[in-house]
A and B are shown apart, each in its own frame.
Chain A
Amino acid sequence: MKLLVCIKQTPDSTVRVKVGPGGRSIDESGVTWAIAPYDEYAVEMALERKDADAATTVAVVTVGPPRAKDALRQALAMGADEATLVTGAEAATLEGLGVARALAAVVAEAKPDLVLCGRQSSDDDQGFVGPALAEVLGWPHVAAVTNFTGADGAVDVWKEVEGGHEVWRASGPAVLTVQKSEKEPRYPSLPGIMKAKKKEIPEKDVAALGIEGGAPRLEIVKMEPPAARGGGKILKDGDTRQTAAELVRLLREEAKVL
């Protein structure tokens, strides 16, 4: 089976994101970048398939600035076979739909049996690109995927639902947006890292794919960091009864949770 995983490079979860000057974007200085967590699950899920079936190949693709190459290398180090970077001046300003179109162009060329995306990125959290890609391709889309098995052109997809899971069958190529892989994303071996370092990563230009940024349909008006969390409160005075009464009062009047 031929798998294509679409990933996005986002600030690592250990980074304390700061709002940049102007208040409409983040300050990128000093940011450590990584594969967005759900996308990393998608890579792991594809690699688990590859582990189970040696004939499976895994390709990864991202649309983004040149630094996004590091995310592709990470996926290669984990065990992906090839990687493509879609970049160019236009890449930075593309919105979700533009990204989906760019990815669709790559899919059309690579002709995978299945496309995997994370269910959402960890920066914009829109959850848009995967379904949009399915729409552009005219392929079916299954969301919240936790596993899949493929045989004879059909794919059985495990999909998480409240309190359990459903198994859906897709007869042709499909787009899956991944909730979580069976195992935690693997730790790349050092030879894997070294091999990935030397691997050629072809670049495609967004404009050359015929994708136009066009006028933005969405505009970020303002970014604000969340308010600093205040310290907790410890009720010490009084006996148990008084403390309990005070606790209920505070929960009702201050915290407003009762």
Chain B
Amino acid sequence: MIAPTAGNALLVAVLVAVWAVGWGLFARRAWQLYRYLRLGRDEDRTQRPARRIRDELVVYLGQQKLFKRPYLVRGLAHAFIFWGFAVITIGTVDLFLSGVFGFRVPGTGTALFVWTVDLFAILVIASIALALVRRLFFPPPRMHVALDGYLILGGIAFLMVTLLLFETTGLVAGVAAPGFADPPLARLLHDLWPLGDAASAAVYGAAWWGHLVGVAAFAAYLPQSKHLHIFTTLPNVFFRSQRPRGALDLIDGIEERETLGAGSVRDLSWKQLLDGYTCTECGRCSDQCPALATGKPLDPQRIVLDVRDQLLRQGGRLVLDGSDRGTPPARWSATKVEELWSCTTCGGCVEACPVTIEHIDKIVDMRRWLAMMEGDVPPEAQRALTNIERAGNPWGQPRDARAEWAAGLGVPTSAERPDAEWLYFVGCAASYDRRNQRVARSVVEVLRASGVSFAILGNEETCNGDPARRIGNEYLWQTQARANIETFARYGVRKVIASCPHCFNTIANEYPQLGGSYEVVHTAQLVQRLVTEGRLHFAPGAGASAGAKERVAYHDPCYLGRHNGIYDEPRGVMDVVPGVDRVEVRPHHRERGFCCGAGGGRMWMEEKVGQRVNHRRMDQILAADAATPVTKVASACPFCLIMLDEAAGAKGVQERIKPIDLMELVAARLPEKETATP
């Protein structure tokens, strides 16, 4: 197209001025936001650059996280708008350059380019229409449907319409530049266009100007709105955490620190503040939150937006006055503290977020401040912390009763057998909780049946520290972790088996932060490995009484599944065990598994508000059971087992649907085993 400004210095000056104002406003806001961002604490987010580039390609350009179910159609619509934006931006730059300098961006005249632009223009318009219909008639429950969204959609639609208008009228008016391919859509519309040459030329000019002025206006508006994510997602994905999902951030030199956790926006890292700029308020995190679903005062989206809003509110003040600490995040609203304590750290929100926002880290940072700076922890959680401190377990059971579950089993301790290949780290739940002691005994049976050389620490074992860390007492976690790492070192432990996903996660993913690196396997992984290696055999026909298979539902523990990606191994074990038909708790399974309610230290806190999370989980299991009747629900976590047991009892189904641990399922089918299935 020949630009309407061609040869007219005044018009060129107007165009440059309009863009200068638009992008000037953009730059001013961007600078302000950047300065606010720098209020956050430093954090290195450059490790593993290759992974970061991969994420940029897959998560950002590839829009991978947008396509999760049940958001597939909406996700596709978003991806079309995004890809369309990327392609059409090249065209927009070309328009501007040709308008000012008469210079064409190389490649923009090719048939490939014009076809691509037109194709995306249609896809973008169709996607916008879909988005509008959704907002107007089927507003998603968790989404904040506000004017902002309509303005953005309207703005994009305006740019697309003006694009198609000036392309078409440009063709009609004959202003096509020689040597450039005709836009195919315009060629199609050309024949339908009702106006004559002169009128078309006027429309062409108006649409051309409308488009370019629109871009400038959009540039000015964008950083004032949640649509800022189109710029911030790029760095937000690049700088996403490359720690294992289940690992929290280490507080280094904790004894020398003056502030611990987040007592101000200054104490949140710059990346956590960037998360706030990046949130588009889509509400997918809220959809997954077990606390929100059961009526607790927590909404993960609110956590992120509160960080953003507070930063925007106080940023100006804090930038000017270095001594101004700002308001503690945990005190931003009357309910903030309860919000923070409602989190089970299940990771549903983090898994769901399309732009890789890290909700849990913020919540834990704020909890750290409450727990370590203010000593303000729910009384029951405080009791659990004191118990860990004094007795080495959150229940406050005697330290020297830790190995009583193994009485009479002849399980050697590391002191007795320092040459054992594996250490079985039993964990507090399996050591002290009567129901879970049976699981520990099953583990022993399975390990023995497979000829695995193992030992336990006995009374020398102490809580791995996971509840303390997630409640926010990083110091206690470090104390516990160091104690275990020292004990491991004393016995030369290199390989660790854990039957508890929380022990597994913290030893595998968090102990390396303190110099303790081991090969750690969860029992579900180990059993699968033992079966594959041909070391573990089952009794022929065991468990399959009367030839019928029993149907067992599988419940994904968060710290096995979402936090560690172990979805297939426990399922593999269920599939290889004779006489068991695995049933999935759809749609709340695998990545969308629903928490039992015990994570994040919630095991030791009272749950007074709303429905109990484990009861909701049991409702979901009962719904699956209504479709395919099951007789058991298997989990692979002692806390899930306790929670499911309680829920089954409360719903009066404990006789019909028995909660069990995967290892009990396995142990009951070992050869030469006479006892009935659990």
Contact = CB atoms under 8 A, between A and B. Distances in A.
A194 B398 contact: no
Interface in B367-389: 371-377, 379, 382, 385-387
A14 B373 contact: no
B382 A15 contact: no
A192 B260 CA distance: 12
A14 B391 contact: yes
Contact of A14 (B254, B371, B377, B398): B398
B401 A16 contact: yes
A15 B398 contact: yes
Contacts of B4: none
Interface residues of B, number: 26
Contacts of A12: 390-391
Contacts of B258: 191
A132 to B, nearest CB: 29
B331 to A, nearest CB: 16
A16 B398 contact: yes
Contacts of A186: 375
A25 interface: no
A32 B382 contact: no
B400 interface: yes
A16 B393 CA distance: 14
B387 A189 contact: no
Contact of B373 (A15, A30, A189): A189
Contact of B382 (A13, A16, A187, A190): A187
A192 B475 CA distance: 13
A184 interface: yes
Contacts of A13: 396
Nearest to A13: B396
Contacts of B475: 190, 193
Contacts of B376: 187
Given A12-B391, A14-B396, A34-B390, A188 B375 contact: yes
Nearest to A30: B400
Interface in A178-206: 184, 186-194
Contacts of B396: 13-14
B674 interface: no
B390 A190 contact: no
B399 A15 contact: yes
B391 A187 contact: no
B255 interface: yes
B395 to A, nearest CB: 9
Nearest to A34: B390
Contacts of A14: 387, 390-391, 396-399
Nearest to A193: B475
Contact of B375 (A30, A32, A187, A194): A187
A192 B373 CA distance: 8
A57 B399 CA distance: 37
Interface in A1-45: 12-16, 30, 32, 34
A190 B468 CA distance: 13
B400 A32 contact: no
Contacts of A34: 390
A148 to B, nearest CB: 22
Given A14-B397, A187-B382, A32 B377 contact: no
A184 B382 CA distance: 10
Dominant SS among interface residues on chain B: helix
B372 A189 contact: yes
B654 to A, nearest CB: 16
Most buried by B among A12, A14, A184: A14
A119 B385 CA distance: 25
Contacts of B391: 12, 14-15, 32
Contact of B371 (A15, A187, A193, A194): A187
A44 to B, nearest CB: 12
Contacts of A189: 372-375
Nearest to A15: B398
A194 B373 CA distance: 11
A103 B379 CA distance: 32
Nearest to A78: B375
Contact of B399 (A32, A188, A191, A192): A32
Contacts of A184: 379, 382
A12 B377 CA distance: 21
B197 to A, nearest CB: 79
Nearest to B385: A187
A179 B400 CA distance: 30
Q: Which of A15, A16, A187, A189 has the most CB of B within 10 A?
A: A187
B404 to A, nearest CB: 10
Q: Residue among A190, A191, A194 with the most chain B CB within 10 A? A: A190
Contacts of B398: 14-16
B379 A190 contact: no
Nearest to A187: B375
Contacts of A194: 255
A187 B377 contact: yes
B328 to A, nearest CB: 13
Given A14-B397, A14-B398, A30-B400, A190 B385 contact: no
A14 B387 CA distance: 7
Contacts of B401: 16
A190 B370 CA distance: 11
Contacts of A191: 258, 260, 372-373
Nearest to B388: A14
Nearest to A184: B379
B400 A187 contact: no
B487 to A, nearest CB: 15
A184 B374 CA distance: 15
B112 to A, nearest CB: 62
B377 A30 contact: no
B344 to A, nearest CB: 21
A219 to B, nearest CB: 29
Interface string B347-381: 00000000000000000000000011111110100
Nearest to B397: A14
A32 B391 CA distance: 8
A45 B390 CA distance: 23
Given A187-B377, A189-B375, A16 B387 contact: no
Contacts of B377: 187
Contacts of A192: 375
Nearest to B374: A189
Contacts of A187: 371, 375-377, 382, 385-386
Interface string B250-289: 0000110110100000000000000000000000000000
B579 to A, nearest CB: 29
Nearest to A17: B398
A19 B375 CA distance: 36
Nearest to B383: A184
A71 B397 CA distance: 21
Contacts of A190: 254, 257, 260, 372-373, 475
Contacts of B399: 14-15, 30, 32
A186 B475 CA distance: 17
Interface string B144-160: 00000000000000000
A183 to B, nearest CB: 8
Nearest to A12: B390
A16 B404 CA distance: 13
Scoring B258, B385, B396, B399 by chain A CB atoms within 10 A of each residue's CB, the highest score goes to: B399
Interface string B455-476: 0000000000000000000010
A184 B258 CA distance: 26
Interface string B379-423: 100100111001100001111110000000000000000000000
A19 B388 CA distance: 24
The 4 closest A-B pairs by CB, nearest first: A14-B391, A16-B398, A190-B372, A187-B375
9 contacts: A13-B396, A14-B391, A16-B398, A186-B375, A189-B373, A190-B372, A190-B475, A191-B372, A192-B375
Given A184-B379, A190-B260, A190-B372, 13 more contacts: A13-B396, A14-B387, A14-B391, A14-B398, A14-B399, A16-B398, A30-B399, A184-B382, A186-B375, A187-B385, A189-B372, A190-B373, A193-B475
